[in-house]
Structure 1
Amino acid sequence: MTARAGGPDHRPPPISDDDRDTGVRRVQEAYAGGLISYEEMDARLQQVLTARMHGELVTALAPLPEEDADTTATITAVGGRIVRRGAWRIPRVLRVESALGRVHLDLSRAIIEHPVVDIELRLGTGRARITVPRDAIVDVEGLRTGWRDPIYQTRRSSRPGGPRIRISGAMGMGRLKIRHARR
């Protein structure tokens, strides 16, 4: 007996968590940018979160602007150091991949054009240090650590309007230290 096209052997794959997260982020950015109302954001988030197949996700996101390819950058090193500091432009999504080296990202004087910045870490061994602006709000909920928890002390008070820095990904044997800039 042969399988028919469209039969049980040819089901399209369900959407991944990354696809769903990207959809949620696009809806939230459209709302933050004033492109959609709160009610529309709420309805679209419901569609994205309950979508099972890519077609349902595409329908929920169709009227929203596409993500700009320039808003994603990847920094990769097998060994050695990754260092970014000074007045550098932060993309919307920054992926940092290092198997053995140390990572130091200083965002305190960086040019941050997006209300939300996602930093995705893929680190093996080695330490990572991220310095964020004084008024930044930091979220490390999406970060998985294999050895030690990140060191981060939430600021007692921050001025409204600061960027939201979401740190996600996975770290092996290293440790992440996050601190707010003093000035």
Structure 2
Amino acid sequence: MDSGQNDHLRVSDAERAKVGQLLERAVSEGMLTLDEFTQRYDAALAARTRGELRVVLADLPMAVTAAPRPAPEVLRGRMSSIVRRGQWTVAPVLQLNTRMCSTTLDFTSAVLPGPLVEIVIDDYCSSTELIVPSTATADLNGVDAVAGSATVKVRTSPPSQQLHLIVRGRVRMGSVTVRHPFGSWLRRLHGSR
């Protein structure tokens, strides 16, 4: 970001989104905790000028903007089903490319790369279920649903220290749902007695 002379200029939603992506990258590289991410992300969303946005990134090294993003693991399905359960190893970025497909990604026993996992969806006429542990949170604000649905049945904030899913992309005539395992509310209820 420019420093100094342009600090008074108003910022666009695209500039706020870019800063949000840089903050997400800083979390995935261990430069920020999820609490710091939440505070800074909220400040970025509220920023009106470039100076206010610059403050959000001020103490992060320039390497954050230049660091290569991890290569996504691509899961592709055509008129089939994709299932990941048990102790599967999760990549920091998952890319789902599905057409008339049923996808289930169960993160409850998965080996995670860190507390933040990004999922990029390009879906047509499919259903996607993301099953997360009871402590997990998810953000589906980046999902563009066209004649479809994006449903979050878990907490959205503050971001979980164990697992926070950031899901973005497009769902056309399909659905994406983030939920806890069936019966988890019963286990929590039974455990509290």
Q: TM-score scaled by structure 1? A: 0.66
Partner of residue 26, structure 1: 25
What is the CA distance between 1:73 and its match in structure 2?
1.2
Partner of residue 66, structure 1: 67
Contact 2:96 2:122 in 1 (8 A): yes
Contact 1:80 1:100 in 2 (8 A): yes
Partner of residue 75, structure 1: 75
| Paired residue secondary structure (1:31) | coil
Instruction: Output aligned runs, 1:34-183, within 5 Å.
Output: 46-47=53-54, 62-64=62-64, 66-67=67-68, 69=70, 72-155=72-155, 161-181=161-181, 182=184
**Looking at CA atoms only, which structure, 1 or 2, has the larger radius of gyration?**
1
Percentage of pairs with the same residue: 19
Cα-to-partner distance string for 1:113-157 (whole Å, 9 max, x where unaligned): 312111111110121111011110111111111123223323499
**Distance in 2 between residues matched to 1:66 and 1:129, nearest whole Å:** 31
What is the CA distance between 1:20 and its match in structure 2?
5.6
Cα-to-partner distance string for 1:63-119 (whole Å, 9 max, x where unaligned): 34834636x311112331111111011111111111221111111110113121111
Partner of residue 47, structure 2: none
What is the CA distance between 1:47 and its match in structure 2?
3.9
What is the CA distance between 1:23 and its match in structure 2?
2.6
CA RMSD of aligned residues (A): 3.9
**Distance in 2 between residues matched to 1:19 and 1:160, nearest whole Å:** 22
Contact 2:81 2:102 in 1 (8 A): yes
